[in-house]
Amino acid sequence: MQWVKVLGGLVGASALLGLGIILGHFAIPKGADAPAPGVSVSQDLDLEILESVMKQLDASKIRENLRELSREPHLASSPRDEALAQLLLQRWRDPESGLDAAEAPTYEVLLSFPSREQPNRVAVVGPTGTVLFSCRQSEQNLTGEQGGPDVVPPYAAYAPPGTPQGLLVYANRGTEEDFMELQTQGIRLEGTIALTRYGGTGRGAKAVNAAKHGVAGVLVYTDPADINDGHSSASQTFPNSWRLPPSGVERGSYYEYFGDPLTPYLPANPSSFRLNPDTVPGFPPIPTQPIGFEDAKILLCQVNVSVHNRLELRNSSNVLGIIRGAVEPDRYVLYGNHRDSWVHGAVDPSSGTAVLLELSRVLGTLLKKGTWRPRRSIVFASWGAEEFGLIGSTEFTEEFFSKLQERTVAYINVDISVFANATLRAQGTPPVQSVIFSAAKQIPAPGLDGLSIYDNWIRYFNRSSTAYGLVPSLGSLGAGSDYAPFIHFLGISSMDIAYTYDRSKTSARIYPTYHTAFDTFGYVDKFVDPGFSSHQAVARTAGSVLLRLSDSLFLPLNVSDYGETLRNFLQAAQRDLGVLLEQHSISLGPLVTAVEKFEGAAAALGQRVSALQKDTPDPLQVRMLNDQLMLLERTFLNPRAFPEERYYSHVLWAPRTGSVATFPGLANACSRAMNTSLGSAAWAEVQRQLSILVVALEGAAATLRPVADL
């Protein structure tokens, strides 16, 4: 999983050498659309099956999965990444525990790698060019796993090659404010090398900000204060604790957008049109290199940075497997995670893939025994090249845009399944809140006798809901993992599920060995989740959510819960922007009306669902209601709302730069209008964004009303 990002584009992904089979061609016998004979069109969630699945999800099997998955580094498109694609295929084609069908199609995507022949180098040089000190070019081999030829040296993917040399300037987190502050202090930035620390802004954004001030090169290190709760000595760090060793370096993608950089909005098939790599937007403008804190603290004076990264077109595989629905095979519940890692990737992403494989094993076994077949189709996905920018998942959504948009019930993402073992943490759009709550209430929290996952969760993350009182708080979805194209580009209700930290015990920005060569099986087994009970808890939670979505007669998507979000956004707008808008004669009245209409329509729909559930509804009545529930999220898409924000079309969850926690189009337009001298044009854009929003909410309400209302 990616380090949390709310705006901007620092995302990562990786790719597999692929098989080249074009997606969409699973061998399927003719007439396979038909429900199996004897299937009831009223088939509903079977609680015994659910219980049985929960029991069968096995922590020791997840541990074995993880051991195998993280045994070797499996950088996107590497031979080991491809071997893991084959392992997944083999599991999903297993006659005893496999799925109905599985394939591993590939895309040809642009990745970035350091040169083997000319390693990237960071050195302190004297006035005559003598090298006074060189940074490490790889991490220290502490467990015997950091030394092999497949451990990619630390680098900033997509940073351009170059060998800038200049005075070193410490630029904190490399935000625009940080560079402004340096200028205010009279520090000349032109031609310097900026030393920045991870956090505060996107990876690529540091170089973008630096270049604006004439900086020639950027170094990025992980500060012990940010990652290790201040600890930095060898004895206090891995392999003696879960903390990052002094030589550890966070790798990552420095590309601003996501998807294959050469084929925006097009699948990266061999025949697809490709941009010229020399003119592609979104790459860092200047050479950039990540380093460890051990080196960072030594750097002084004149620094020479040599970056020799190369762009390469590579084949990257997704692996897809399907369990065909018995009753509504044309409704898809998608469950995915990426497969590629920066090095061994035991936590990121193999902890998620280990869970995915255990879940598919248990369901596949029920399927092959003939005990069970879901009402709707379940699609499992192992995405390639996520670390380079969510590439595999994005290309998939570009290729099957219409089909996925028409038929997908929800997308479940489990990337890093266990950051730490304190509590569940979930992100998602409002319609999935209720189904995650239902699942979490029925599963015991590991190690806490009698407490459910829900009861434990609410102790760590909670909020006061007007509808329900105190509930666990669901985070919102940025673009940190493969859910991004599903929610932002396709408008599919999405979620991300994991176990995570007790924040009273650590303030680490993310688990310390993130994107380093120390993220290994031993690290997980010893420090992150000994016994794998948190992995099992995530498997059960995600598995229960999956089954509820695939098997329930009525889709467990509570669209009314969107009302609360809209109301909160509206109140923030009224409170923090109301006076300002009034000064410019812009009324929030139509927005108030639209929110009220939405709430009314959603509540009435909820009542119709309840009434029908007490009845014996005919299958078409159920289908019609479910279509309303499934398609609600789509009504918030407007591909013309933010044309400059690539892929972002969701008017409620697009990136927000303004400080007010409200509708992003409105917040951003207000923020621009206040900070520019554009005057009336900028305020007209505020009006336009408000209208776009009102039309989307009114349109959403219209889809929730009785279907024979016009």
Helix (H) or strand (E) holding 483: helix 483-484
Residues from 148 through 177 that contact a copy of itself (CB under 8 A):
none
d(CA 106, CA 320): 11
- Interface stretch with a copy of itself, choices 31-39, 59-67, 83-91, 197-205 (CB under 8 A): 31-39
d(CA 405, CA 155): 37
Q: Which of 454, 674, 668 is nearest to 583 (CA)?
A: 674
- Total residues contacting a copy of itself (rule CB under 8 A)? 85
Apex 219 CA angle, 218 and 220, nearest 5: 120
Strands (E) across 126-228 are located at 131-134, 156-157, 165-170, 193-197, 217-221
CB 22 within 8 Å of CB 318: no
Q: Looking at 72, 103, 139, 295, which residue binds a copy of itself (CB under 8 A)?
A: 103
Q: Which of 230, 223, 178, 181 is nearest to 199 (CA)?
A: 223
Residue 324 binds a copy of itself (CB under 8 A):
yes
Q: Looking at 631, 652, 666, 673, which residue binds a copy of itself (CB under 8 A)?
A: 631
Residue 408 binds a copy of itself (CB under 8 A):
no
d(CA 365, CA 52): 12
Compute the least distance from the CB of residue 592 to a copy of itself, in Å.
11
Question: Which residue's CB is nearer to a copy of itself, number 530 or number 706?
Answer: 706
DSSP string, 217-285: EEEEE--HHHHSTT--SGGGSTTSSSSPPTT----EE--SS-S-TT-TTS---TTS----GGG-TTS-S
Q: Which residue has the tokens 């497949």?
A: 150
Residue 379 binds a copy of itself (CB under 8 A):
yes
d(CA 500, CA 504): 12
Whether 386 is a known active-site residue: answer: yes
Residues from 527 through 556 that contact a copy of itself (CB under 8 A):
none
Give residue 102's identity as a one-letter amino acid code.
Answer: A
Q: Looking at 98, 325, 389, 472, which residue binds a copy of itself (CB under 8 A)?
A: 325
Q: Count of CB atoms within 10 A of residue 323's CB?
A: 26
Residue 31 binds a copy of itself (CB under 8 A):
yes
Compute the least distance from the CB of residue 241 to a copy of itself, in Å.
44
d(CA 352, CA 539): 9
Supply the DSSP symbol for 336.
E
Q: Which of 512, 508, 601, 497 is nearest to 544 (CA)?
A: 497
Residue 700 binds a copy of itself (CB under 8 A):
yes
Q: Looking at 399, 482, 496, 551, which residue binds a copy of itself (CB under 8 A)?
A: 399
Residues from 437 through 466 that contact a copy of itself (CB under 8 A):
none
Residue 613 binds a copy of itself (CB under 8 A):
no
Q: Looking at 623, 655, 661, 672, which residue binds a copy of itself (CB under 8 A)?
A: 623
- Interface stretch with a copy of itself, choices 194-202, 220-228, 571-579, 601-609 (CB under 8 A): 601-609
Q: Count of CB atoms within 10 A of residue 24's CB?
A: 11
Residues near 578 by beta carbon (within 8 Å), at least 6 away in sequence: 588
Residue 101 binds a copy of itself (CB under 8 A):
yes
- Interface stretch with a copy of itself, choices 8-16, 231-239, 267-275, 465-473 (CB under 8 A): 267-275
Residue 37 binds a copy of itself (CB under 8 A):
no
Residue 277 binds a copy of itself (CB under 8 A):
no
Lookup: tokens for 38: 């004897």
Compute the least distance from the CB of residue 28 to a copy of itself, in Å.
5
- Interface stretch with a copy of itself, choices 160-168, 430-438, 474-482, 690-698 (CB under 8 A): 690-698
Residue 679 binds a copy of itself (CB under 8 A):
no
- Interface stretch with a copy of itself, choices 138-146, 247-255, 258-266, 335-343 (CB under 8 A): 258-266
10 Å CB burial of residue 455 (0-12, 13-18, 19+) is middle
First-residue to last-residue Cα distance in the chain: 44
Phi, psi of 266, rounded to the nearest 5 degrees: -125, 145
Residue 49 binds a copy of itself (CB under 8 A):
no
Sheet with 423-428, edge to edge strand ranges: 101-103, 319-323, 376-383, 328-338, 408-413, 494-500, 423-428
Question: Which residue's CB is nearer to a copy of itself, number 459 or number 608?
Answer: 608
Question: Which residue's CB is nearer to a copy of itself, number 237 or number 315?
Answer: 315
- Interface stretch with a copy of itself, choices 227-235, 250-258, 300-308, 684-692 (CB under 8 A): 684-692
Residue 330 binds a copy of itself (CB under 8 A):
yes
Instruction: From the candidates 82, 386, 387, 398, give the one annotated as an active-site residue.
Output: 386
Question: Which residue's CB is nearer to a copy of itself, number 55 or number 403?
Answer: 403
Q: Looking at 100, 226, 294, 295, which residue binds a copy of itself (CB under 8 A)?
A: 100
Question: Which residue's CB is nearer to a copy of itself, number 32 or number 467?
Answer: 32
Compute the least distance from the CB of residue 410 to a copy of itself, in Å.
17
Per-residue mark of binding to a copy of itself, 212-251 (x: CB under 8 A): ----------------------------------------
Compute the least distance from the CB of residue 271 to a copy of itself, in Å.
4
d(CA 406, CA 387): 28
Residue 320 binds a copy of itself (CB under 8 A):
yes
10 Å CB burial of residue 210 (0-12, 13-18, 19+) is buried
Residue 188 binds a copy of itself (CB under 8 A):
no
Residues from 5 through 24 that contact a copy of itself (CB under 8 A):
23-24
Give residue 569's identity as a one-letter amino acid code.
Answer: F
Supply the DSSP symbol for 348.
I
Q: Given 3-state DSSP classes, what are the helix, strand and coil percentages for the chain, each rounded to the nearest 5? A: 40, 15, 45
Residue 93 binds a copy of itself (CB under 8 A):
no
Q: Looking at 58, 68, 229, 406, which residue binds a copy of itself (CB under 8 A)?
A: 406
- Interface stretch with a copy of itself, choices 248-256, 340-348, 514-522, 621-629 (CB under 8 A): 621-629
Lookup: tokens for 166: 């200049």
- Interface stretch with a copy of itself, choices 118-126, 146-154, 281-289, 400-408 (CB under 8 A): 400-408
Helix (H) or strand (E) holding 321: strand 319-323
Three-state SS at 208: helix
Residue 403 binds a copy of itself (CB under 8 A):
yes
Residue 34 binds a copy of itself (CB under 8 A):
yes
Q: Looking at 71, 231, 407, 584, which residue binds a copy of itself (CB under 8 A)?
A: 407
Compute the least distance from the CB of residue 430 to a copy of itself, in Å.
17
Question: Which residue's CB is nearer to a copy of itself, number 131 or number 707?
Answer: 707
Residue 643 binds a copy of itself (CB under 8 A):
yes
- Interface stretch with a copy of itself, choices 132-140, 215-223, 339-347, 701-709 (CB under 8 A): 701-709
d(CA 6, CA 387): 17
d(CA 235, CA 258): 39
Residue 708 binds a copy of itself (CB under 8 A):
yes
List Cα–Cα distances, 314 to 15, 156, 388, 584, 683, in angstroms. 8, 18, 12, 52, 46
d(CA 85, CA 1): 18
Residues from 423 through 442 that contact a copy of itself (CB under 8 A):
none
Phi, psi of 156, rounded to the nearest 5 degrees: -105, 105
Residue 341 binds a copy of itself (CB under 8 A):
no
Residues from 577 through 596 that contact a copy of itself (CB under 8 A):
587, 589-590
Strands (E) across 501-594 are located at none
Residue 635 binds a copy of itself (CB under 8 A):
yes
What residues are labeled active site?
Answer: 386
